[in-house]
Structure 1
Amino acid sequence: MTLRTPVTLGVVLIVLVVLLTAVWISGTVWGAVRNDSTSGMFWVMLGAGAPLLIAILAGVIAYLTLSVKAFNLNRRQSNFIDSVTHELKSPIASLKLYLQTMTRHDVSVEQQKEFHLIMLEDVERLDSLINHLLDVARVDRGGEAYEACDLSLHTVLSKCAQGACVRYKLPPETVRVKCPPILVHAPVIQIEILFRNLIDNAIKYGGSPPKVELTAVCSASGDVTVSVLDNGTGIPANLRRKVFGRFVRLGSELERSQQGTGLGLYLVRNITHAMGGRINIQDGHWEVSTEPADHSPSDTPEGGLPETAPKSCQQGTRIDVTLPNGKLAESEPPPVSPPQDQASDIAED
């Protein structure tokens, strides 16, 4: 069953109700004007029937809207089941294969070490998936209070960035962190889940190779904005609100090039709102400077310096997360040096 069936049925019902309402109003008004003796009855019928027909029209529209939402949710749940089944089946099949190989055949020590490393990666993949699902269940359940404390934002971002590079086997310079000494008053668990999912999403849907930049600023009012910029193809403007829904993954589940369950940005949105913050998606831009060409002495301008390399803009996606209760950490004051005359006296002694 496709979405065309409920939409067509709903449109037909809406048209019929509109026509019925127009005929009812026209007939009752015409009867009230034509018959003076029974005009009061027609006006009563008009006053009672017209609101009922309008209520029926509103009910049909609401029913159509809910049907479309239910259909989309059902489709997203089907995609979620497909992706989770794949995420569970692949590492389990890999573990089973390597265990059977080690049981039925003589394996050298080097091969055993290689098999152990591969099986450990599969176990970590399963553990990451289970933790992801548990995080979603914990957020959906709500009502669970987490103790907030002052956290060093640079430490949290660096920890999440290093963990993401290790999980995806990327060099540490893949994720750059630009964060002044900012303290955020927030629960440790929620803040780590928030930025871990943001960085994972930026790496998975970034370019090849991926490149991610984290930039944090703190305003005078205490709002902390963390911008996560990747070098991916971007998200269309009409889909930027939808990507925060549950089980939402753009495209077809049968044509996936990236692992995932469609719950990462859903967690990001819910945690951000629970902490009293806000989130926004927009186009990002990277400034890429091209390599300067070899200049001959004749091409050198009169100033003696070669021309600077031109810069080109590479488009990406930027997600801005703004959280309250932030402040700049107080830096230690520099040591006080003695006055110049005292310093000279000390040097003479």
Structure 2
Amino acid sequence: MNFTRRRGTIAFFITLGTLLVGLAVTLNIGWVVLNERTVALAVVGIILFAMLIAGVVLNTVFLVREIRRNERQDSFLNAVTHELKTPIASIRLYLETLQRRPVDEAQRQQFYTNMLADSDRLLATVEQVLKAGQLGQRHRQQSRTLIDLGSLLSECIAITLQRHHLPPDAIVLQPVPGGVHLRVMGLADDLRIAILNLLDNAVKYSPEGVHVRCSLAITHYTWATLRITDTGVGLPPNQHKRIFRRFYRVPGRTMLRIKGTGLGLFLVRSIARQHGGDATAASQGPNMGTTITLTLPLANPSTASEASSSMANGRSYPTMKERA
């Protein structure tokens, strides 16, 4: 209902802006025709007309943008409320069952396992929201360390398999060409969050079966590239960049059935850029799967010394666009 109302409001402001622009054009043309012999007045009229048109267009764009931003924030609040309420309700139900009637030891242990899983889900949601707030602070005084991406990726795959109760072959890690170790300078906790978000998304948006491929490679001699490919719902052509916005979720019936906060890929891109890299998405279309590529600069002795001095001075690495 709110979605339909907001769509109507956006259509109203766009229509109003179009009508105002059309009215201004008509009045200006009529005014110029009536005063065609007065060149000075015609020039002044054209300038005022351009200013009026610019004001109307900017006002309409601003209003539409604010409506869409409020829509994304409302969707985020609804999603977070669901993500918080569901595990809390589940934990409460298990506790009430244990309190009201006796259960055998096997069932009790199963209850404990389910409650731990729900608490992990609750904690993951809270940490995701907190991390999104922390990433808004540009100067973060934390020491960067040398990280083996292969080991970190294997650890994240094991966590994801356990978290979603998947068989080992659901997420396949392809061997690195040449068997080399890809190391980067960074914050291990942040990169772990980024990779876990990518894996969770690949699992979550594969409702017909999880078949995820992960690969690591060196590109352009100085970059470590992580690609995570699924066979899930895919992306429409105009959504490849939008999915990295804060609170943004792809519209559609399938997406409505899949719960989320709209922060996962925003965190991935923010973390990648804070490490001097970037994150991109590619898909051949709906139901054709999605590939998310995370690119980070490889570590070397000069990078390590630069990281130490940069953190001491409160600076961060240049991004891929700045390096180009």
TM exceeding 0.5:
yes
Query: Which of 134, 144, 154 is 1:138 aligned to?
Result: 134
**8 Å Cα contact 2:156-2:195 kept in structure 1:** yes
Deviation at residue 155 of structure 1 after TM alignment: 0.6
* Equivalent residue number for residue 47 of structure 2: 51
Q: Does 1:87 align with 2:109?
A: no
Q: Any stretches of 5+ residues in structure 2 without a counterpart?
A: 301-324
**8 Å Cα contact 1:24-1:50 kept in structure 2:** no
* Counterpart-to-counterpart distance in 2, 1:167 and 1:194: 16
* Counterpart-to-counterpart distance in 1, 2:159 and 2:200: 10
TM-score (norm: length of structure 1): 0.76
Q: Alpha carbons of 1:276 and 1:52: their partners in 2 closer, same or farther (altered >3 Å)? A: farther
**8 Å Cα contact 2:213-2:228 kept in structure 1:** yes
* Equivalent residue number for residue 322 of structure 1: 295
* Equivalent residue number for residue 243 of structure 1: 243
* Equivalent residue number for residue 128 of structure 1: 124
* Equivalent residue number for residue 20 of structure 2: 13
Read off the aligned partner of 1:137 and give its amino acid letter. G
Structure with the bigger percentage of strand = 1
Read off the aligned partner of 2:214 and give its amino acid letter. L
Equivalent position SS for 1:279: strand
Taking only aligned residues, the RMSD between alpha carbons, in angstroms, comes to 2.4
Q: Alpha carbons of 1:276 and 1:85: their partners in 2 closer, same or farther (altered >3 Å)? A: same
- For 1:153-168, what aligned pairs fall within 5 Å after superposition? 153-168=149-164
Deviation at residue 254 of structure 1 after TM alignment: 10
TM-score (norm: length of structure 2): 0.82
**8 Å Cα contact 1:153-1:182 kept in structure 2:** yes
* Equivalent residue number for residue 31 of structure 1: 37
**8 Å Cα contact 1:136-1:263 kept in structure 2:** yes
Query: Which of 68, 72, 81 is 1:76 aligned to?
Result: 72
Deviation larger for 227-236 or 179-188:
179-188
**8 Å Cα contact 1:6-1:67 kept in structure 2:** yes
Deviation at residue 233 of structure 1 after TM alignment: 2.9
* Equivalent residue number for residue 11 of structure 2: 4
Q: Paired residues, what number?
A: 289
* Counterpart-to-counterpart distance in 1, 2:202 and 2:32: 57
| Cα offsets for 1:166-218 (capped at 9, x unmatched) | 11111222222233411112222222122111111111112532111111111
* Counterpart-to-counterpart distance in 1, 2:262 and 2:255: 14
* Equivalent residue number for residue 259 of structure 2: 259
Equivalent position SS for 1:83: helix
* Counterpart-to-counterpart distance in 1, 2:295 and 2:82: 34
| Cα offsets for 1:285-332 (capped at 9, x unmatched) | 9xxxxxxxxxxxxxxxxxxxxxxxxxxxx94211222222346xxxxx
* Equivalent residue number for residue 345 of structure 1: none
* Counterpart-to-counterpart distance in 1, 2:212 and 2:14: 41
| Cα offsets for 1:4-27 (capped at 9, x unmatched) | 211111111121222233233333
| Cα offsets for 1:231-287 (capped at 9, x unmatched) | 1131011111211111112236897333321111111122222222233222369xx
Read off the aligned partner of 1:223 and give its amino acid letter. W
Read off the aligned partner of 1:321 and give its amino acid letter. L
* Counterpart-to-counterpart distance in 2, 1:83 and 1:254: 15
Read off the aligned partner of 2:128 and give its amino acid letter. H
**8 Å Cα contact 2:231-2:289 kept in structure 1:** yes
Query: Which of 49, 56, 62 is 1:60 aligned to?
Result: 56
- Which runs of 4 or more aligned residues in structure 1 lie more than 4 Å from their structure 2 counterparts after TM superposition? 252-255
Deviation at residue 140 of structure 1 after TM alignment: 1.9
Q: Which has the larger radius of gyration?
A: 1
* Counterpart-to-counterpart distance in 1, 2:215 and 2:255: 33
* Equivalent residue number for residue 197 of structure 1: 197
* Equivalent residue number for residue 100 of structure 1: 96
Read off the aligned partner of 2:47 and give its amino acid letter. P
Q: Any stretches of 5+ residues in structure 1 without a counterpart?
A: 33-42, 286-313, 328-349
* Equivalent residue number for residue 313 of structure 2: none
Query: Which of 149, 159, 165 is 1:169 aligned to?
Result: 165
**8 Å Cα contact 1:234-1:316 kept in structure 2:** yes
